[in-house]
Amino acid sequence: MTLWEGRLGAATADEVMAFTASLHFDRRLAADDLVGSAAHVRGLARGGILTGAEAGILLAALDRVGEELAAGSFAFKAGDEDIHTAVERRVTEIAGDVGAKLHTGRSRNDQVATDLRLYTRRELTEVARRVLDLQEVLLSRAVEAGDSYLPGYTHLQRAQPVLLAHHLLAHGWALARDLDRLVHTVDRLNISPLGAGALAGSSLPLDPDFVAEELGFAGRFENSLDAVSDRDFVAEALFDLSLLAVHLSRIGEELALWSTEEFGFVTLDDAYATGSSMLPQKKNPDVAELARGKAGRLIGHLAGFLATLKGLPLAYNRDLQEDKEPLFDSLDQTGRALLATAGMIATLAFDTDRMQAAADGSAGAAVDLAEWLTERGMPFRQAHAVVGSLVRDSLERHVPLAELVQSHPALGLEAVGLLEPGVAVTRRTTPGGAGPQAVAAQLDRFRHRLEVDVERVDRVDQPPPRGTDGA
Ligand code: ARG
């Protein structure tokens, strides 16, 4: 049986079912479909379209479907094209004739949009929570890192020493922006499309404001055409997740690099590394590499879905069914990547001696020499040239830089002190800078931001005020 047997004479061809059915992926909307349907039933009762008794029967049937789904005893049937069809079919089996009233005033168009908003609201919140967990890990590793430092790089060339804590928090702040985006996306999507019907609303006394409130949405749609065709929230979610994945990818790339013998800045815990099937000595950073690799896939989902949307006229078109698989996959992949990355960072060992040796062994204090001269009245461009030629001299003649600094008339012994191990990094004192004082303040600010963000995420995750129990 199809939902449209009154209109179409022939049964749907098998290959059409195979091509158009979405049950195999949209069954994960089941819980949201039940919650949405229950709100719809309460709305129908409120409008006098259903009697209290009829609503009670439908709500009980929806509850039972929920139990069957939870117990794994729900039997899907060949004609169940999608989760909405399957639920309505089963409600009708359980509730008898009243079941035929469930879909009154509703279309799968407003139904699926409602379900997907409920689902996305919850799942993005879960991703946000995992972002917070990763930020906590970065924060605790930053605190633990104390005053250890490493070379900061530009162009992947050693540039200036920075505290390890500073480097870790740099990733933490990128994640703070991801979190902010996720929260705003949830805020924007928190609008109920239920009551828009197929595209134009209804002749029946529905109350979209009432069902919106029932479902814990902040409000209802303004325009029924927009309500059923709007998938901005999916595109936004895909973007938020893609950029988050890009950030994880950059962390992954760095850790893959840092765990090489050439860098040797970190050793991954055995539980977060893999071996080689052939080479007995290998220990590979597969988590870091897949954190990097998954980003490509997520960017593909975003680009693909924007392409799906771009040519669609108003209002619902079946193309919109293509919203779910990329969204589900992006959520799954990001969720797993966040957990694995947090575990990898929590358990890896930093080789701070090696990091510091790398930072001390270079001309990482060169700009400090130039700034020292500037403080004594030399224009910076001139100071830059003086120090630059000393560095060149040192490299060409194989003379230690300290020796050249000591014998230079404008520099001398006091300036040599800047080249002592660990001195340069302490001079990065400006707000947001890489030295110990500035980083101590930054740690406080980061900790505070994290506390605020934990509360923000707790607040967005207000579950709908009522369940499917008809309370
Ligand atoms: N499975 C469909 C989707 O995901 C549900 C809506 C179908 N609506 C329709 N008029 N064919 O978009």
DSSP string over 258-308: HTSTTT--EE--GGG-B--SS-TT--B-HHHHHHHHHHHHHHHHHHHHHHH
How far, in Å, is the centroid of ligand 1 from the Cα of 307?
Answer: 19
Run of H or E residues at 372: helix 366-375
The answer to whether the predicted template modeling score (pTM) of the entire model surpasses 0.75 is: yes
Closest C-alpha among 260, 258, 262, 253 to residue 287: 253
- Enzyme catalytic residues: 155, 276
Query: Tell me, what amino acid is at 426?
Result: T
Strand partners, 304: none
pLDDT for position 3: 74
3-class secondary structure, 321: helix
* Minimal-distance CA residue to ligand 1 atom 2: 321
- Give the pLDDT of residue 466: 45
User: What burial letters (b/e) apply to 333-367, b meaning 16+ CB within 10 Å?
Assistant: bbbebbebbbbbbbebebbbeebbebbbebbbbbb
All structural domains of the chain with their residue ranges: 14-101, 119-203+221-357, 361-420
For the Cβ of 110 lying below 6 angstroms from any atom of ligand 1, the answer is no
Backbone angles phi, psi at 151, to 5 degrees: -70, 135
Find out whether the beta carbon of 231 lies less than 6 Å from any atom of ligand 1: no
Burial class (CB in 10 A: 0-12, 13-18, 19+), 311: exposed
Is residue 106 in contact with ligand 1, taking CB distance under 6 Å? Answer: no
User: In whole angstroms, what is the distance from residue 217 CA to residue 211 CA?
Assistant: 9
Give, for all 471 residues of the chain, the pLDDT tens digit: 677 777 887 889 999 999 999 999 999 999 999 999 999 999 999 999 999 999 999 999 999 999 999 999 999 999 999 999 999 999 999 999 999 999 999 999 999 999 999 999 999 999 999 999 999 999 999 999 999 999 999 999 999 999 999 999 999 999 999 999 999 999 999 999 999 999 999 999 999 999 999 999 999 999 999 999 999 999 999 999 999 999 999 999 999 999 999 999 999 999 999 998 888 898 999 999 999 999 999 999 999 999 999 999 999 999 999 999 999 999 999 999 999 999 999 999 999 999 999 999 768 899 999 999 999 999 999 999 999 999 999 999 999 999 999 999 999 999 999 999 999 999 999 999 999 999 999 999 999 999 999 999 999 866 544 444 433
Any atom of ligand 1 within 6 Å of the Cβ of 113: no
Q: What is the pLDDT of residue 5?
A: 74
Tokens describing residue 68: 């069957």
CATH class of 14-101: mainly alpha
Ligand 1 centre to CA of 72 (Å) is 24
The H or E element containing residue 219 is strand 219-220
Ligand 1 pocket member 86 (CB < 6 A):
no
For ligand 1, what atom is nearest to the CA of residue 198?
10
User: Separation of 2 CA from ligand 1 center, angstroms?
Assistant: 13
CATH number listed for the domain at residues 361-420: 1.10.40.30
Please give the distance, rounded to the nearest whole angstrom, from the Cα atom of residue 321 to the centre of ligand 1.
6
Q: Give distance in angstroms: CA of 187 to centre of ligand 1.
A: 25
In CATH terms, the superfamily for domain 119-203+221-357 is Fumarase/aspartase (Central domain) (1.20.200.10)
Task: Give me the residues paired with residue 149 across strands.
Answer: 163
119-203+221-357 and 361-420 agree in CATH topology: no
Which of 112, 234, 317 to mutate to test ligand 1, by most ligand atoms within 8 A of the CB atom? 112
Q: Which atom of ligand 1 is nearest to the CA of 81?
A: 1
Exposure of 185 by Cβ count < 10 A (0-12 exposed, 13-18 middle, 19+ buried)?
Answer: buried
